[in-house]
Amino acid sequence: MENQEKYNNLSKLVEKLKKSEDPKRKYEYILWLGKKLKEPDSEILIEENKVKGCVSEVFVKAKIKGGKLFWEGYSDALITKGLLAFLISGLNELTPNEVVKINKKFIEDTGLKASLTPSRSNGFLNILLKMQSQANEFLEV
């Protein structure tokens, strides 16, 4: 992954998944991340924060503190919750500009496509796009 220092958290997560050749182990890791995701404030469960194009219900919201973004999210499906947790962990404490400019290639680098259905894989990208859209709103302020 390029710019590893800037995207240190995300790079570590991607590397962890890349190391495993077994699609089942990757899937289990994503499920584990989903179980660890903190319950968000219920106030984020509004249409404005909903990720479009996901089979499951997914909500994500950024707050900005000291120029850095802090994310929280919710999904009603554990695997999607794990994908959301992966992105929240990877993109937490980045600036809005860093989130907007991230190269989507890291999704391929994870090797998760072999473990996910096409709709889950598409949902993963849609969550990232929603997060980038929210980050972009902070740039416009």
C-alpha distances out from residue 62 to 30, 41, 55, 98, 135, Å: 21, 12, 22, 14, 7
- Does the annotation mark 54 as catalytic? yes
Where are the extended beta strands (E) located within 11-120?
58-65, 68-75
Check 10, 30, 51, 54 and give the catalytic one: 54
Cβ proximity of 116 and 75 under 8 Å = no
Give the tokens for residue 75: 């999904």
User: Which residue is it, tokens 């962990």?
Assistant: 89
Question: Mind telling me the catalytic residues?
Answer: 54
